[in-house]
Amino acid sequence: MLDLSELGVKSLRGGITQRPLGLDVTDIRQPWLRDILVTFIAEMKPNTTEARRGLRVCKAVSRALDTRIGGGMDPAKLMFADMNAVVDTFRVLPKLDGGPLSSKQRGALLSFFFKILDYNRAAGHLDGMSASFARHSSHVIKTEEVDEDEAGKALPESLIAQLDDYVDLLGQGMTHGKMTPEQVQAMARAVYELLRETGRRPYEIAELRTNCLKHADREWLLIWDNRKGRRLNRRLELEHGTVETIRTWRAVRDTLDLPTGSEGFLFPPSG
């Protein structure tokens, strides 16, 4: 069990998490795979959502390698076919409750595994790993053609990774009404994470109401307005991390001295 506070993992608000519970890595059977996850968390200091995402993707990789000859136990013996098996697992990866994941979400999870793997390689923690076990141009998850209500235009994963590396700089030097610099940064981070995870247009995020979260049929939904298509009260399924982003910002918002007329908006205007 990984103690997130001892590893310096940050909460969604940016401080070191004080949660006593950690991450259970016992389902990751390959020792080297457990090691690169622990190393990534300990050295990169991700937030709690990213740490849980790392656990999820490494569990999926472990299951894929379990089906291969040798079970993926020896990193020096891993082959290109083993990486193909890993990618194939992500191509059909379901939600935690067994429901279907969008191609965008599956692609983001696969990219997160490559982020963990590439970091450990670059840091010299995988010198004994076979060079064949690496990402190839064929290792992509094609975006499905879906209705506009299901997904927006996604940024390239490489660009998202760069933005994620500088997320702590969002909102610095900006003003917004009577909000403190810390509150402005918290709002900017929440807006970015919602744009990244939902694919909505900027004005659609800006128009979200405080009651935009709804729980139905064991799923969290985002209630939003598609004004371009003149369809109001649309519903978009949310991942747990996105729900936490909204809840965390809403707790900050509730402490603000809001201008008249902005009470119902999740992100209040500056006037």
Percent of the chain with pLDDT over 90: 48
226-235 in b/e burial notation, b at 16+ Cβ within 10 A? beeeeeeebe
The β-bridge partners of 47 are 10
Predicted confidence at residue 20, as pLDDT, reads 45
Q: What is the pTM of this model?
A: 0.55
Q: Would you say 270 and 184 are in contact if contact means Cβ atoms under 8 Å apart?
A: no
CA 138 to chain centre: 23
pLDDT, tens only, 134-154:
999 999 998 765 455 554 545
C-alpha 266/C-alpha 245 separation (Å) is 12
Comparing 22 with 183, the larger pLDDT belongs to: 183
The β-bridge partners of 213 are 222
pLDDT, tens only, 196-220:
888 888 999 999 999 999 988 788 9
The β-bridge partners of 224 are 234
* Strand order across the beta sheet in which 219-226 lies: 213-216, 219-226, 231-237
pLDDT, tens only, 4-57:
666 656 554 445 544 445 788 999 999 999 999 999 999 998 888 888 899 999
pLDDT, tens only, 94-137:
988 788 888 889 999 999 999 999 999 999 999 999 999 999 99
pLDDT, tens only, 165-182:
888 888 999 998 888 999
Q: Would you say 222 and 198 are in contact if contact means Cβ atoms under 8 Å apart?
A: yes
For residue 112, what are the contacts with CB-CB under 8 A and spacing of at least 6?
A: 50, 53, 54, 57
Q: Would you say 40 and 34 are in contact if contact means Cβ atoms under 8 Å apart?
A: no
